[in-house]
């Protein structure tokens, strides 16, 4: 596939767009199915390359994976052919989640070291320490993690930060562990609820308290297959919503709910966007002038770190000084240099606008944006997934023709983004 998007800016987006199933839920549900030798059915999977990488991992392990054109994934792992998968054709952050399921089924496991977007330090110490506490012996090899455990046992795990991946890892490992596991300061993202729903459907005994961020898991001796539906992708929703507001258009997204979009809707309304909850979905629209606002990213229910990139583009169009304080990743503003080349006024510094966060004084993690700015077209190179969406939205509102390369990063998480934006009236082609 060619990796070029050519966008002629200046078109308002309007119409209806369906969002796909969440990348960050679907991939985890596939891993959860490895805990059982019975078939599971995962509905509403997105056709994105990160799912293909997870499929490759499962198939190497021994799963039969059949994904139909109507987005239904049938996955069965009757036998684990090999628990040792030290390499895959591409890297992402999913394989480490397979350690627990493989240890339960075979007592040994090997998975490749993690990849994912270059957005700062992304250690996996919390995953490893928790699994070690639960009885795994884990060795970091040159390109992989190798683990052994005769048996995993329940543990009391307290996270210093509510890590999404580490919470998922412990959840997966604890379902079949001997005894009770308690996770404190757990991540409570809706995608984790989707995973818990699947595990409970498979027979796991889990009490998930989102108010106290505590999860209590009583290990069971066996899990069975189940059917689960992947929740809508909240990053797609935010991306399309911002694209609608930034182009002063109006789009309708069917079959989504405000319940998992609180801080997204709140931020879009504060900017001056119009968000109408209708019976069948949500309409996003807006007109200038937009208002400058201050945003801080954080774990759910806070404003998602994956939303700040499209939002930053919208804030270049708002009147006055806005700021985005990134508190989840220490280096997630690289893309702002490109926006500046396109005419935006953005400065990134190491300070914290309000209460100091763990990155204070050390990392460039706060963006100050002054608007409104007229953006002009540019040649852009995408280096990470969500930054890629900032590039696309900037190009949609810029004067002239932008060319974006490196779109394999975007294809990791957005299915046929060019075609779907074209359906909303954008002048965008893949060439």
Q: Chain-centre distance of CA 86, in angstroms?
A: 24
Query: Residue 324: how many CB atoms within 10 A of its CB?
Result: 28
Rounded to the nearest whole angstrom, what is the least distance from the CB of residue 89 to ligand EPU in the complex?
17
Question: Of 189 and 249, which has the nearer Cβ to ligand EPU?
Answer: 189
Q: Phi/psi zone of residue 302: left (φ > 0), alpha (ψ -120 to 50 degrees), beta?
A: beta
Do residues 262 and 28 lie in contact, with contact meaning Cβ atoms separated by under 8 Å? no
Rounded to the nearest whole angstrom, what is the least distance from the CB of residue 166 to ligand EPU in the complex?
5
Query: Could you identify the residue written with the tokens 């309007």?
Result: 14
Q: Which helix (H) or strand (E) holds 156?
A: strand 156-158
Rounded to the nearest whole angstrom, what is the least distance from the CB of residue 143 to ligand EPU in the complex?
18
Which residue number places its CB atom closest to ligand EPU? 165
End-to-end Cα distance, the chain: 9
d(CA 252, CA 110): 44
Question: Of 172 and 377, which has the nearer Cβ to ligand EPU?
Answer: 172
Q: Write the CB contacts of 212 (distance below 8 Å, at least 6 apart in sequence).
A: none
Rounded to the nearest whole angstrom, what is the least distance from the CB of residue 12 to ligand EPU in the complex?
27
Question: Of 290 and 359, which has the nearer Cβ to ligand EPU?
Answer: 359
Considering only CA atoms, which of 324, 332, 298, 307 is closest in space to residue 240? Answer: 307
Do residues 162 and 188 lie in contact, with contact meaning Cβ atoms separated by under 8 Å? yes
3-state SS of the chain: helix, strand, coil percent to 5?
30, 25, 40
Do residues 48 and 411 lie in contact, with contact meaning Cβ atoms separated by under 8 Å? yes
d(CA 122, CA 349): 20
Question: Of 136 and 187, which has the nearer Cβ to ligand EPU?
Answer: 187
Question: Of 40 and 305, which has the nearer Cβ to ligand EPU?
Answer: 305
23 is in an annotated binding site: yes
24 is in an annotated binding site: yes
- 3-state secondary structure (DSSP) of residue 57: helix
Rounded to the nearest whole angstrom, what is the least distance from the CB of residue 141 to ligand EPU in the complex?
18
Binding region for ligand EPU (CB under 6 A): 23-24, 93, 117, 121-127, 161, 163-166, 187, 304-306, 328-329, 385-386, 413
The Cβ-side half-sphere exposure at 98, using a 13 Å CA radius, reads 38
Considering only CA atoms, which of 27, 33, 81, 29 is closest in space to residue 49? Answer: 27
Query: Could you identify the residue written with the tokens 């919390």?
Result: 126
**In DSSP terms, which residues pair with 405 in a beta bridge?**
4, 381
Q: Which residues are catalytic?
A: 117
170 is in an annotated binding site: no
Do residues 350 and 361 lie in contact, with contact meaning Cβ atoms separated by under 8 Å? yes
Query: Could you identify the residue written with the tokens 């390369």?
Result: 405
Question: Of 304 and 324, which has the nearer Cβ to ligand EPU?
Answer: 304
Question: Of 6 and 138, which has the nearer Cβ to ligand EPU?
Answer: 138
Phi, psi of 383 (to 5 degrees): -120, -10
Rounded to the nearest whole angstrom, what is the least distance from the CB of residue 100 to ligand EPU in the complex?
14
Rounded to the nearest whole angstrom, what is the least distance from the CB of residue 28 to ligand EPU in the complex?
7
Can you read off the two tokens belonging to residue 346?
Answer: 């953005």
Q: Which helix (H) or strand (E) holds 397?
A: helix 385-397
Considering only CA atoms, which of 293, 302, 296 is closest in space to residue 273? Answer: 293
Do residues 91 and 129 lie in contact, with contact meaning Cβ atoms separated by under 8 Å? no
Rounded to the nearest whole angstrom, what is the least distance from the CB of residue 68 to ligand EPU in the complex?
24
Question: Of 119 and 395, which has the nearer Cβ to ligand EPU?
Answer: 119
Q: Residues comprising the binding site?
A: 23-24, 93, 306, 328
Q: Residues comprising the binding site for UDP-N-acetyl-alpha-D-glucosamine?
A: 93, 306, 328
């Amino acid at each position: 596939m060619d990796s070029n998007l050519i966008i002629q800016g200046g078109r308002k987006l309007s119409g209806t767009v369906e969002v796909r199933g969440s990348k960050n839920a679907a991939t985890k549900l596939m891993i959860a199915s490895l805990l059982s030798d019975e078939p599971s059915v995962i509905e509403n999977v997105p056709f994105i390359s990160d799912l293909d990488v997870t499929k490759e991992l499962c198939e190497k392990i021994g799963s039969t994976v059949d994904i139909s054109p109507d987005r239904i994934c049938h996955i069965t792992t009757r036998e684990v052919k090999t628990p040792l998968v030290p390499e895959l054709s591409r890297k992402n952050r999913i394989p480490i989640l397979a350690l627990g399921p493989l240890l339960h089924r075979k007592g040994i496991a090997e998975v490749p070291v993690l990849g994912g977007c270059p957005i700062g330090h992304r250690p996996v110490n919390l995953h490893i320490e928790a699994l070690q506490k639960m009885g795994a012996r884990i060795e970091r090899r040159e390109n992989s993690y190798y683990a052994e455990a005769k048996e995993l046992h329940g543990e009391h795990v307290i996270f210093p930060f509510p890590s999404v991946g580490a919470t998922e890892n412990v959840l997966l490992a604890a379902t079949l562990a001997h005894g009770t596991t308690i996770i404190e300061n757990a991540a409570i993202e809706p995608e984790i609820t989707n995973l818990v729903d699947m595990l409970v459907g498979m027979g796991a005994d889990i009490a998930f308290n989102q108010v106290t961020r505590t999860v209590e898991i009583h290990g069971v001796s066996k899990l069975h297959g189940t059917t689960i539906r992947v929740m809508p992708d909240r990053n797609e929703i935010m991306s399309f919503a911002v694209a609608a507001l930034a182009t002063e258009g109006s789009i309708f997204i069917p079959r989504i709910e405000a319940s998992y979009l609180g801080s997204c809707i709140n931020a879009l309304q504060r900017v001056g966007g119009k968000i109408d909850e209708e019976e069948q979905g949500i309409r996003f629209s807006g007109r200038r002038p937009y208002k400058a606002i201050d945003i801080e990213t954080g774990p759910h229910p806070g404003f998602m770190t994956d939303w700040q990139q499209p939002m930053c583009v919208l804030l270049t169009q708002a009147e006055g000084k806005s700021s985005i304080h990134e508190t989840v990743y220490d280096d997630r503003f690289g893309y702002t240099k490109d926006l500046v080349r396109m005419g935006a006024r953005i400065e990134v510094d190491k300070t914290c606008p309000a209460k100091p966060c763990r990155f204070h004084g050390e990392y460039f993690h706060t963006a100050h944006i002054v608007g409104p700015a007229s953006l002009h077209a540019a040649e852009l190179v995408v280096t990470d997934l969500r930054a890629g969406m900032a590039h696309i939205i900037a190009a949609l509102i810029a004067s002239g023709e932008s060319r974006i390369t490196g779109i394999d990063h975007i294809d990791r998480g957005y299915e046929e983004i060019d075609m779907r934006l074209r359906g909303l009236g954008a002048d965008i082609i893949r060439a």
